[in-house]
Structure 1
Amino acid sequence: MTGVNSSNESERRQRRIFYLSKHFGHPLGGVRIAYHHVAVLNRHGFDAAMLLVDGMKDNFFDTNVPVARLSPEHVIRPTDIYVIPEPWKYCLQRFAEFPVRRLVFCQNHFYLYHGLEDRWSFDDYGVHQVFCCSEVIAQYLQDIFDLKDVPIIHNGIDHDVFRPAPAKKRQIAYMPRKMKVESIFIRETFRRRHPQYADVPWVQITNRTEAQVGGILGESAVFMALGRIEGFGLPPLEAMASGCIVVGFTGDGGRSYATAENGLWCTPEDWMGTADALAQALGDFDRDGGRCWVEAGRVTADQYTLDRMEREIVAFWEAEVRR
């Protein structure tokens, strides 16, 4: 969904929208999502930009969006809307001093208390609205903070980037960033417990562009999901869209989409069970390409489209700029 409704364009451009971010030195799904929000908003006539606290733009994502820098020269207007990541205590404190509209975009409930620290709730920072990206986060915010209205903008994946290659390779793709020690332990336990698969390559995905990740997943038979303390967890969904058999952990946030049919989901710290699940996945791949797992994963991934994400972004912000 693209384009601008001319009748609403003037209203949309009356207020500036800034998503705060910075350069982390490696690709992060949450940063990618923020960039995507800003790209969508600009396509629909909103005055939106990334506001970088360190002045360095990430180069891992193939999106061209307006960028501003948080510096002494940055002029704050009363009509501005600032979107602050949930763990950023300093920015929550500083922007509480200005007569602007303050929103928190919570992409990971596990990091909430880094931002709140000694505060009881975001009300103490004068935050006007908290929105999020998954049912798991929304439920936590409702249960613990008694928030009645927690809008969800569901993440979408680019199905042109994440799709099966013409032929799959008998290999296991994995992203070890959040479970570096565990990934080695699982791999070596698996090789010794199931020596018939000891020669199956493990392809590490680290510091790759989105297109490169899509290429690796597209040609891999199995994806080892190593999510931990996740608010949502994009990689397993991207792997499903890429035709991988998914094995591993939801990281909590993945409960938004994980089912008994679309992945061999493992109990955290059940290392033997995880090794056995990997062996089952490879056995199923050797037998029929893991057809049942792959098909169920595709059906799940098809629900998380960029079109749906775009519709939800626009609907949320159309209401927000009128407040």
Structure 2
Amino acid sequence: MTRRYLFLCPDSRKASGGIAVIYDTVETLNRAGYQAAVLHNSPNASYPGRQTPVPALYTQSYRRAVLPYIERRKQLRERLDLPLERLRGGRLAALDLRPDDVIVLPEYMMREGLDAWRENPIGIFVQNPFSFMTAYMHARAAGHDPQARVSWYIGVSEVCMDQFELLGIGGAHALPVSMNPETFPFRAEKERLITYMPRKRPEEARQIVEALGLRGRIGDYRLQALDGMKPDEISGWMQRSRFFISLQKRESIGFPAAEAMAAGCIVVGYTGLGAREYFTPETGFPVTEDDTAGLVRALEGAVAEYETDPARLDAMRRHASAEINRRYSKAAAEEALLKIWGELDAS
């Protein structure tokens, strides 16, 4: 029987780079002839905006494993909802688990996933190294031995690989994922527009906008929050925007800054740590984490330079876009994924 890879996935219907990566991975593996499916926790789960459908199933095993770790009121509600949901059913078929199914767990679902699937092979797909460290320690505290129980680990960034090394995890696989820079095409002509995504740092975003307004040093540039928008809307704004404020926080890679660079924005702000692998003084204006005053001054300085002599910054943003497309293209990500999977499937 052909080995099957089941990627446990959160059920959020909001746009999420992490969920998009899981769906892209399953799509690529199926195109290459592997048996792979997204494994949701509800029969009516889905992810919006997918152009190509991918195989998807649902299971309640993870939700049952979560029960001991949540407060009593939520426990009681879940214990009532689970049988009712199974009875009602939905768009997804229930998982018929096979002994050789490989369960691929997102890093933050590690402890409960190891509780739920004690016999099946387990792989850990790490997209957030910060939550991975917490989940790893929680799994050990729950009595699991990840070193013995987990068959393999995949990390999507240099920060992930650093965490593996710190924990003594050998033989982990580095997978450079794609933020699909092709969907954020470079545009040379820009408007007097500064965009930002406030979701990770809403209070700080408000402080920055207010400070820029009070100081009056960005001239007639307009500020636009990119919040609650669809991916194609975000792409459109970034293509129009000359500057982008990066408010990334505790990232593995950090897609927003990379998307903005691909679209030709001059990026100023935080790397979120993980974006250090591409967000450098050669591709933008990285600022020390949490230094709000430093960010405001760096943006004002970049605007002033562009208004005086834009040549250096135009060259910077062209270089940044080329680097993002070279490092994080869909083709490069798929090639790396299939090379890794060839090794995993043969083991």
TM, length-normalised to structure 2 = 0.83
Counterpart of 2:53 in structure 1 is 64
Any stretches of 5+ residues in structure 2 without a counterpart? 61-85, 87-93
Query: 1:32 & 1:209 partners in 2: Cα distance?
Result: 13
Matched, 1:156 2:145: no
Q: Deviations over 1:149-177 (max 9, x none)?
A: 22111012323311134631111111111
Matched, 1:123 2:151: no
Counterpart of 2:132 in structure 1 is 112
Matched, 1:22 2:45: no
* Matched ranges for 1:193-208 at <5 A: 193=215, 195-197=216-218, 199-208=220-229
Provide closer, same or farther for how the CA distance between residues 118 and 322 of structure 1 changes in structure 2, counting only shifts above 3 A.
Answer: same
Displacement of 1:208 in angstroms is 2.4
Counterpart of 2:96 in structure 1 is 75
Q: Deviations over 1:68-119 (max 9, x none)?
A: 1114742111221111011113223211x22x22001010111024423443
Aligned residue for 2:256, secondary structure, equals helix
Counterpart of 2:288 in structure 1 is 267
Provide closer, same or farther for how the CA distance between residues 296 and 122 of structure 1 changes in structure 2, counting only shifts above 3 A.
Answer: farther
Q: Is the 8 A contact 1:190 1:276 kept in 2?
A: no
Counterpart of 1:296 in structure 2 is 319
Matched, 1:138 2:187: no
Q: Is the 8 A contact 1:36 1:63 kept in 2?
A: no
Aligned residue for 1:17, secondary structure, equals strand
**Which residue, 190, 214, 234 being the options, matches 1:168?**
190
Query: 2:281 & 2:314 partners in 1: Cα distance?
Result: 15
- Larger helix share, 1 or 2: 2
Amino acid in the other structure paired with 1:105: F
Q: Deviations over 1:247-275 (max 9, x none)?
A: 10011111122221111010123222211
* Matched ranges for 1:302-317 at <5 A: 302=325, 303-317=327-341
State which drifts further: 303-312 or 120-129: 120-129
Q: Is the 8 A contact 1:264 1:277 kept in 2?
A: yes
Q: Is the 8 A contact 2:181 2:328 kept in 1?
A: no
Matched, 1:102 2:122: yes
Aligned residue for 1:321, secondary structure, equals helix
Aligned residue for 2:183, secondary structure, equals coil
Any stretches of 5+ residues in structure 1 without a counterpart? 1-12
Query: 1:64 & 1:122 partners in 2: Cα distance?
Result: 36
Amino acid in the other structure paired with 2:124: V
Counterpart of 1:87 in structure 2 is 108
Q: Matched residues, percent identical?
A: 26
Query: 2:188 & 2:299 partners in 1: Cα distance?
Result: 23
Aligned residue for 2:181, secondary structure, equals coil
Q: Deviations over 1:197-224 (max 9, x none)?
A: 2642222222322222211111111111
**Which residue, 302, 310, 313 being the options, matches 1:281?**
302
Aligned residue for 1:27, secondary structure, equals coil
Q: Which structure carries more relative contact order (alpha carbon 8 Å, separation 6+)? A: 1
Q: Is the 8 A contact 2:130 2:250 kept in 1?
A: yes
Aligned positions, number: 307
